[in-house]
């Protein structure tokens, strides 16, 4: 039961579903109830009087009144399209904070314009290789740009805290490690940890949460920029379980599977067409526009063929071939060769194995009512101050994956 005086932040990244049978399973969800049971009171948003009534208890929202998504959600609530109300708990700065997740039966607000080009992707472990009708791009997932340092600072900070906690573990319980200094599985005796170790563990948990929010924000920014080119998206289907087994730390930091899932979800929400192609039959990483196939070692990052195709960055060329792979998995080689002969942007700009090119900026349809707010982790990994005019600071601002903010 949540205390009646506890303030609840409202998550502006609201979920929209077409069915009333919505099921969720996560340990962070405290309460789920139907829209007929948990009623959302819009109230006076400027005075921060909106809230949720559940089981006879009124929980007031801490709102960001400058966010247009909240006003869009208020219209759905007024129209009676609320399906589910969820309350989630997150530990921020050692204090439990609560957020309300509203599930609507409606259409989400599109804050960015959607293009009409055909988009093909070859998602890698660290990079997203994108080819559209007018250009080819290769951008690092959650990487640095002119306005954001990326997650490199977060990774270094987590590395320092992990090493510090590991040293304290060695000092407090040396029998947990073998002669080589490796932790013995299912044989940890470090039960009574000192206050310094618990403090380090709390800081490490916070660092992981901040990096996850920062990564989600950077993913959303790149997804919106890709959709500004077009919503007809074809992506190569990878085994992200295999990525986790072999490259666990990189998957933890870059989350390529989460990026593709969010991109396809947004494309479908924008009314586009999405497809994930199986690379085993067409083998775009081995094929050429002339129809020839040749295996390449992982160290060979540039494609070059005797037919004259290339040199082209290997992953960018694979993304280009997906433009001409049919539904049955066969490559339309003559059509691919004809387009490549007139596409100078692919053969010229992607000739280097270290080729990088950012996707152009997206054009907003609806911006914030107030001023611009920095994203989480943009400056030394610190969270920004609360954006609401409400004096309560129980809910700290965050950043959602689609460029939208929640509090």
- Report which of residues 78 and 208 the model is more confident about: 208
The whole-angstrom separation of Cα 202 and Cα 21 is 37
3-state secondary structure of 393: coil
Quick check: 379 and 56 in contact, CB under 8 A?
A: no
The whole-angstrom separation of Cα 241 and Cα 92 is 30
Both tokens of residue 148? 């954001």
Quick check: 28 and 88 in contact, CB under 8 A?
A: yes
Quick check: 279 and 322 in contact, CB under 8 A?
A: no
Quick check: 362 and 112 in contact, CB under 8 A?
A: yes
pLDDT average, residue stretch 49-69: 71
Residue 364, beta-bridge partner list: 112
Look over the chain and give the mean of its residue pLDDT values, rounded to a whole number. 76
Residue 350 confidence class, pLDDT cut points 50, 70, 90: low
Both tokens of residue 31? 């309460």
The whole-angstrom separation of Cα 396 and Cα 210 is 11
| Domain 118-148+211-349: which CATH number of 2.60.120, 3.40.1350, 1.10.760, 3.30.420 | 3.30.420
- Every domain of the chain and the residues it spans: 1-111+364-407, 118-148+211-349, 152-203
Element (H, E) at 209: helix 195-227
- Report which of residues 242 and 189 the model is more confident about: 242
Residue 44: CB atoms within 10 A of its CB come to 9
The whole-angstrom separation of Cα 250 and Cα 152 is 12
Integer-rounded Cα Rg, in Å, for the chain is 24
pLDDT in tens, 120-130: 999 988 999 99
The whole-angstrom separation of Cα 230 and Cα 362 is 11
The whole-angstrom separation of Cα 361 and Cα 224 is 8
pLDDT in tens, 3-29: 333 444 444 444 444 333 333 334 444
Residue 351 confidence class, pLDDT cut points 50, 70, 90: low
Quick check: 91 and 48 in contact, CB under 8 A?
A: no
Residue 85, beta-bridge partner list: 33, 102
DSSP of 172-192 = H-GGGB-TTSPBPTT-----S
């Amino acid at each position: 039961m949540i205390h009646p005086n506890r303030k609840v932040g409202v998550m502006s990244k609201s979920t929209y579903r077409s069915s009333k049978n919505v099921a969720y399973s996560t340990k962070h969800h405290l309460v789920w109830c139907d829209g007929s049971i948990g009623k959302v009171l819009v109230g006076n948003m400027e005075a921060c009087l909106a809230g949720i009534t559940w089981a006879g208890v009124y929980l007031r929202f801490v709102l960001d009144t400058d966010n247009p998504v909240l006003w869009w959600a208020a219209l759905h609530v007024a129209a009676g399209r609320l399906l589910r109300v969820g309350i989630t708990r997150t530990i921020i700065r050692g204090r439990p904070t609560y957020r309300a997740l509203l599930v609507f039966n409606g259409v989400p607000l599109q804050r960015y314009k959607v293009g009409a080009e055909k988009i093909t992707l070859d998602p890698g472990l660290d990079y997203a290789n994108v080819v559209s009708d007018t250009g080819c791009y290769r951008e690092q997932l959650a990487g640095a740009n002119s306005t954001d340092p990326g997650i490199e600072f977060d990774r270094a900070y987590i590395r320092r805290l992990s090493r510090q906690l590991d040293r304290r573990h060695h000092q407090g319980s040396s029998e947990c490690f073998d002669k080589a200094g490796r932790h013995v599985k299912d044989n940890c005796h470090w039960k009574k940890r000192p206050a310094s170790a618990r403090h380090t563990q709390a800081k490490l948990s916070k660092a992981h949460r901040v990096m996850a929010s920062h990564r989600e924000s950077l993913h959303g920014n790149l997804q919106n920029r890709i959709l500004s080119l077009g919503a007809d998206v074809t992506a190569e289907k990878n085994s992200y379980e295999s990525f986790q087994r072999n490259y666990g730390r990189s998957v933890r930091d870059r989350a390529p599977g989460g990026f593709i899932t969010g991109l396809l979800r947004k494309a479908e929400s924008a009314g586009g067409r999405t497809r994930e192609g199986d690379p085993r039959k067409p083998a775009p990483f081995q094929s050429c526009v002339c129809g020839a196939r040749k295996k390449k070692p992982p160290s060979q990052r540039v494609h070059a063929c005797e037919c004259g195709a290339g040199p082209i960055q290997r992953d960018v060329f694979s993304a280009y071939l997906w433009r001409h792979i049919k539904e049955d998995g066969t490559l339309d080689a003559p059509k691919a060769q004809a387009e490549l002969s007139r596409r100078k942007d692919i053969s010229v700009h992607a000739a280097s194995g270290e080729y990088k090119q950012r996707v152009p900026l997206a054009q907003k349809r609806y911006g914030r009512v107030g001023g611009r707010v920095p994203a989480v982790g943009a400056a030394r990994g610190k969270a920004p101050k609360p954006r609401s005019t409400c004096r309560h600071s129980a809910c700290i601002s965050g950043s959602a994956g689609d460029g939208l903010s929640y509090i």
